[in-house]
């Protein structure tokens, strides 16, 4: 992990050196953040579609499912583990999107 962090830090430093004008660097970073944000939003739409499929299949909304699954009321079907994992991914991605949007 340290090697990856150093590499990312070096890349950021190279950007800072290349774009000595902070306004220009800010513009480049905003474009990069917008691209990443767009990719995340598309992924979030896929997650939402997949979650709706589970909701229709099992006749309950995802939040209710999650609460019941976490309480041990639903058993250990592979579908349920996948559904719960997908819900966790959706929540994590939603938080990342929120942070990116606040940075723009």
Q: What is the per-residue pLDDT across 41-75, written as a single tens digit (0 to 9) for each?
A: 999 999 999 999 999 999 999 999 999 999 999 99
Q: pTM for this structure?
A: 0.79
pLDDT of residue 92: 98
Residue showing tokens 């309950």:
60
- The half-sphere exposure of 27 on its side-chain side, counting CA atoms within 13 A, is 6
pLDDT of residue 94: 98
Q: Are 100 and 37 in contact (CB under 8 A)?
A: yes
**Cα–Cα distance measured from residue 91 to residue 42, given in angstroms and rounded to the nearest whole number:** 14
pLDDT at 30 over 60: yes
């Amino acid at each position: 992990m340290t090697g990856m962090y150093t590499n990312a830090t070096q890349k950021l430093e190279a950007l800072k050196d290349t774009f000595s004008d902070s306004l220009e660097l800010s513009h480049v970073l905003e474009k990069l953040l917008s691209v990443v944000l767009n990719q995340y939003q598309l992924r979030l739409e896929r997650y939402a579609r997949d979650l709706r499929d589970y909701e229709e299949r099992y006749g309950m909304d995802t939040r209710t499912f999650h609460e019941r699954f976490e309480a041990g009321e639903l058993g250990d079907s592979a579908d349920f583990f996948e559904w719960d994992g997908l819900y966790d991914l959706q929540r994590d991605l939603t938080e990342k999107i929120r942070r990116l949007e606040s940075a723009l």
